[in-house]
Amino acid sequence: MKKTLLIIGGIFLFIIIALALVPFLFKDKIKAKIDSELAKTVNAEILYDVDKFSLTVFRNFPNITITIDDFGLVGKQEEFKGDTLFKAKTMRFVADIMSVVSGDKIKVKGIYLNKPKIVTLTAKNGKNSWDLMIANPEDTLKKTGEEELTEFSVALEKWEIEDGQIIYDDASLPMYAQLNHVDHKGTGDITQEVVDMKTYTKSPDVLVTYDGITYLEKHAVVADMAMNMNYVKGEYKFLENECSINDFKFGFDGLIAMGEKDMRLDLTFKANETEFKNLLSLVPGVFLKDYEKIKTNGKIAFDGYVKGIYSDKAMPAYGLNLKVNDAMLQYPDLPTAVTNIAADMSIENKDGITDNMIIDVRKFHMDMGKNPVDAKVLMEGLNPSKVDANVIARVNLAEMTQIYPIEGTTLKGLYNLDLKAKGIYSDKQWPVMNAVMSLKEGFVKTKDFPEPLEKLNFDAVVTNNSASLSTVKVVLNNFNMLLQGEPFQMKALVENLEDPHYDVALRGIIDMTKLTKIYPLDDMTVSGRINADIQTKGIMSDVQAGKYGNTATSGTMAVTNLKYASKDLPKGMALSSANFSFTPEKMNILNMNGTLGKSDINVKGYFANYMGYLFGKQDTVIRGNMTFASNKFDVNEWMSDDKSAAQPKPNDPLEVFEVPKDIDFLLASDIKTVLYDNMTLSNMNGNIIMKDGIVRMDKVAFNTLGGSFLTNGTYNTQNIEKPLFDFKLDIKDMKIQEAYSTFNTIKALAPAAKNVSGNVNTTLSINGLLGKDMMPVYSTLTGSGLAQILAATVSGNKMLQGIGKLTNLNSFDPMNLKNIIMKFKIQDGKLLVEPFDLNAGGVKMNIGGANSLDGGIDYGVKLDVPAGALGASVNGAMSKLTGKTAANAENIKLDLKVGGTYDSPKVSLLSSSVKEQAQEQVKEAVKEKVKEEIKNSEQVQKAQAEAERIRKETEDRARQEQERLKKEAEERAKKEGADVIKDKLKKLPKF
């Protein structure tokens, strides 16, 4: 017996040791398989630490548990590069131990995630961030129909998420959803073709927005669901389900059937709770304070359906019904309740077409204290809409703050609304209508601005006695208010909406600082005072046709200390003072002083067609003629589309800005200093004309780079995808090196300017395309010009240094230039320089050729050198060829070719240059020999033979010397070498 126990104990001990050794025996093998599978199947950057990879068999015996801490996936696709798609503090897999031991496919049976972040992104083009699988023939099914070639299989029976975050961001809809602190559990054998699955999901903090509208914010969501899932048919049936949003609970059943390109829905839902307070819990907390303490009673009924096909081209039908009976609510510590709340309403869309939605409020009633509100509205369709509405409201605003807590706000006044409307509402038709709205003795006071808005009164009436727009009449009578003792009043009449007849008068002071503290404006800030006295009367068709003689507009407006900023104008505008007068034709700017961003402005002039622009057709053009003055104007801060960007730095890249097509302005400008990119322009004056999407500069003069500029040209954004520029410049005394440092165009096309100190006069015509960064697209540049250098010094020019080395002439570095005139063209991204003459230390030079964008150069250089100026090697060569010293020759002419790049030029001697020079001197030598021999008449024949011998001998020597000189030049060029072409120059603005 004892022996048996020892054997059993030994076997048990062996099993324990074997199980303990499994992680050590198979850890590397499993990790290698994981790495291999991820590398060949997932197109993402995989982040995890080898030291945080572990295995154990005891946690989920008899299965093996694989744990990876701090695991993450980061997108590599272009649209999602660098985006975190998944990360988890702990990721744990439960795998079948025998599949690990056998070395076959590892079967994963359970997954546990602790603090995961799961992000799903969809770009505007529909591409999804989780399209991560690498397309590889080896990873697809075998042609024989065998299983997929993978080292893993999933027999998932259980999964769990603890304290996770799930984000869904779909820019194609657009929709955004975020679930925080998510706990989720699920069970079901997903290896089966038909499986019953149970899941439980809970998140206390849910945000859902769709197309800019927030539907859920900080809502708690719970979903306890049981489903039958048929993977073969792609059908998912909901069995027992209960969901809740905050305290509002509902259940639903039905099915979802997935197709290749669409989804079939057949779902019904119904509220499981019938308390009115549960419905209130759907209201975001920011609008419903102290929800737990609110007193309520009453019952609700809630149900609906979704049925039909959902796809890119179709929406399913849907319906929603809501009933509220005998409900009330009362905020804690407030004396007045909202009572007798009753509603019977539905929303239905029978075919999924949004415009066919039907909203039917069969009954709505509530008593706000002693003030009843009743409504009955039927709206069939959205565009057009068949409307049958009756709304009556009587509200004492003083009681509002006794019903709903509005902290720090005091309201007073009697508000009345009586609206009846029946008929078709569309762009071309209005229902028969009679609507009366009024406010008597209104009063508003807030904690942010203790001065009240008081004596607020108005009467407004809208009537229409037929189905036509022509019979609509809108009357605003006696709108008046008093703000800190300053009155404002207004009257308005609008008739016939087919061709509106208007009669509007306003007078008084509006203090925008005070008003916006009472009524804050979204996404903008406004302050300052406006004092206006304006009357206008006319017919809109006359305004649109420009028949301002048929209208009557007059009055004045004074603005002081006005400040305005918004998302579209983040840098803001401030007017210290501005005065305007109005006529039917013009709004006259008597004076307007202030700032745009950080730039000061002073404007006078007028706007014409302003009425048509403000109230007319969309294609109406506003015209203006103004004088514009500024001491310092910073163009850089207005040449960026990034509204949130900080103040641009001078060297920040600019962006193309679109010139509006609906303005026609002439600005006679006088600006002391202009900051544009990395330049400072001074004393700018001339006309700037904006019309048809084009800015035209007419005789605009300014000083910069040490010289004076006169500019005529255009900046054309009629096609914003391909903006154009076309400029003519007349420049005097521009510093050459400063121009090189400032303009990337000069760096690219005229790199020699880097080594020239001095001034230049130039006339230039240039045009082409601009890139999105406001830089010229060099391959599109076309132009021509003339440059005149009166006096300058060239120092450190590698091309001239190379010529000096080849010829042993020392007069090229430094080189002084005087009265040099160069003609050039810009074509196909190259600068083409016509041959021009210069003199360097007695050496005459003729230079011409081209520079290309990659730094390449192709120049021809002709030298006319006094013979004595050449080195000993050339003198000796000429002496051998001609039998006389080169010093006795008048000049030696050489043709050179300069290639390579500007920073690493290759200088070579053209062989024809030496040959032609030698042949010329040979001819002279032959002539002299012949003349000498002819003098002796008895030796004429001998002289002729001797002459032929000399001719052949001299030609042989010339050929030998030609070969020697060519070989020496080639060896010298090789020693000098050809450096690697330097990086392309960085781009800077056009000039």
Q: What is the DSSP letter of 148?
A: P
pLDDT > 70 fraction of the chain, expressed in percent and rounded: 80
> What is the pLDDT averaged over residues 491-499?
94
Instruction: Kindly provide the residue ranges of all beta strands, DSSP E only, lying in 652-755, ordered along the sequence.
Output: 663-676, 679-691, 694-704, 707-716, 724-735
Least confident of 313-322, 380-389, 560-569: 560-569
Residues 782 and 726: their CA atoms lie apart, in Å, by: 9
Residues 43 and 38: their CA atoms lie apart, in Å, by: 8
Give the residue from 369, 292, 282 showing the smallest Cα distance to 334: 369
77's CB contacts (< 8 A; 6+ apart) are: 43, 127, 129, 131
Residue 14 confidence (pLDDT) above 70: no
Contact status, residue 485 vs residue 474, Cβ threshold 8 Å: no
pLDDT tens digits for 526-545? 899 999 999 999 998 888 88
CA within 13 Å, CB half, 524:
15
Instruction: Kindly provide the residue ranges of all beta strands, DSSP E only, lying in 736-803, ordered along the sequence.
Output: 756-769, 782-794
> What is the pLDDT averaged over residues 306-333?
90
Residue 96 confidence (pLDDT) above 60: yes
Can you give the pLDDT at residue 141?
40
pLDDT tens digits for 251-261? 889 999 988 88
Q: What is the DSSP letter of 628?
A: E
How confident is residue 617, by pLDDT bands cut at 50, 70 and 90? low
Residue 79: helix, strand or coil by DSSP? Answer: helix
Can you give the pLDDT at residue 472?
95
Can you give the pLDDT at residue 297?
92
Token pair belonging to 365: 């009633």
> What is the pLDDT averaged over residues 338-350?
95
Q: Give the angle 71-76-82 at the CA atoms, nearest 5°.
A: 70
Can you give the pLDDT at residue 143?
41
> What is the pLDDT averaged over residues 308-313?
87
Cα torsion angle, 593, 599, 605, 610, sign: negative
Considering only residues 125 and 729, tell me which one the structure prediction assigns the higher pLDDT.
729
Residues 424 and 848: their CA atoms lie apart, in Å, by: 79
Contact status, residue 97 vs residue 127, Cβ threshold 8 Å: no
Q: Is 164 exposed, middle or buried (0-12, 13-18, 19+ CB in 10 A)?
A: buried
35's CB contacts (< 8 A; 6+ apart) are: none
User: What is the DSSP track for 335-361?
Assistant: S--EEEEEEEEEEEESSS-GGG-EEEE
The torsion of the CA quartet 851, 856, 860, 861, rounded to 10 degrees, works out to 90
The torsion of the CA quartet 934, 939, 942, 943, rounded to 10 degrees, works out to -20
- pTM higher than 0.75 for the full model? no
Instruction: Kindly provide the residue ranges of all beta strands, DSSP E only, lying in 447-498, ordered along the sequence.
Output: 453-464, 473-483, 486-495
Residues 279 and 294: their CA atoms lie apart, in Å, by: 13
> Are β-strands 152-170 and 117-122 bridged in parallel, bridged antiparallel, or unpaired?
parallel
Can you give the pLDDT at residue 841?
73
Residues 33 and 899: their CA atoms lie apart, in Å, by: 58
The torsion of the CA quartet 335, 336, 337, 338, rounded to 10 degrees, works out to -160
Q: Quote the mean pLDDT of the chain.
A: 81
How confident is residue 33, by pLDDT bands cut at 50, 70 and 90? low
Residue 493 confidence (pLDDT) above 50: yes
How confident is residue 17, by pLDDT bands cut at 50, 70 and 90? very low
> CA Rg, the chain, in Å?
44
Contact status, residue 169 vs residue 120, Cβ threshold 8 Å: yes
Q: Give the angle 222-225-227 at the CA atoms, nearest 5°.
A: 155
When mean pLDDT is compared over 401-410, 427-436, 970-979, the highest value belongs to 427-436
Residue 290: helix, strand or coil by DSSP? Answer: coil
Residues 911 and 549: their CA atoms lie apart, in Å, by: 84
CA–CA distances in Å: residue 394 to residues 152, 327, 338, 391, 453: 71, 20, 14, 10, 21
User: What backbone torsions phi and psi does residue 892 show, to the nearest 5 degrees?
Assistant: -120, 130
| Helix or strand (DSSP H, E) at 877 | helix 872-882
Can you give the pLDDT at residue 333?
80
Q: Is 623 exposed, middle or buried (0-12, 13-18, 19+ CB in 10 A)?
A: middle
Token pair belonging to 114: 């602790």
Cα torsion angle, 220, 225, 230, 235, sign: negative
How confident is residue 415, by pLDDT bands cut at 50, 70 and 90? very high
Can you give the pLDDT at residue 917?
53
How confident is residue 751, by pLDDT bands cut at 50, 70 and 90? confident
Can you give the pLDDT at residue 335?
87
Token pair belonging to 853: 């964008």
Token pair belonging to 351: 């075919």
> What is the pLDDT averaged over residues 490-503?
94
Can you give the pLDDT at residue 90?
93
- Taking the alpha carbons at both ends of the chain, their separation in whole angstroms is 105
CA–CA distances in Å: residue 37 to residues 243, 438, 852: 38, 73, 50
pLDDT tens digits for 265-279? 999 999 876 888 888
Residue 124 confidence (pLDDT) above 50: yes
pLDDT tens digits for 891-931? 778 888 999 888 888 988 875 554 455 455 445 544 554 45
Token pair belonging to 358: 């039907």
pLDDT > 90 fraction of the chain, expressed in percent and rounded: 39
Give the residue from 192, 214, 216 showing the smallest Cα distance to 205: 216
Task: Give me the amino acid identity at 154.
Answer: V
Contact status, residue 399 vs residue 369, Cβ threshold 8 Å: yes
Residues 260 and 695: their CA atoms lie apart, in Å, by: 53
| Bridge partners, 387 (sequence order) | 379, 423
Q: Is 369 exposed, middle or buried (0-12, 13-18, 19+ CB in 10 A)?
A: middle
CA of residue 917 relative to chain centroid, distance: 65
Can you give the pLDDT at residue 730?
93
Considering only residues 61 and 772, tell me which one the structure prediction assigns the higher pLDDT.
772
Q: Is 536 left (phi over 0), alpha (psi -120 to 50) or beta?
A: beta
pLDDT tens digits for 216-225? 888 899 999 9
Give the residue from 602, 604, 607 showing the smallest Cα distance to 587: 607
Residues 45 and 83: their CA atoms lie apart, in Å, by: 10
pLDDT tens digits for 465-489? 998 999 999 999 889 999 888 899 9
Residues 611 and 585: their CA atoms lie apart, in Å, by: 8
pLDDT tens digits for 659-691? 888 889 999 999 999 988 788 999 999 999 999
User: What would you measure as the largest C-alpha separation in the chain, in angstroms?
Assistant: 152
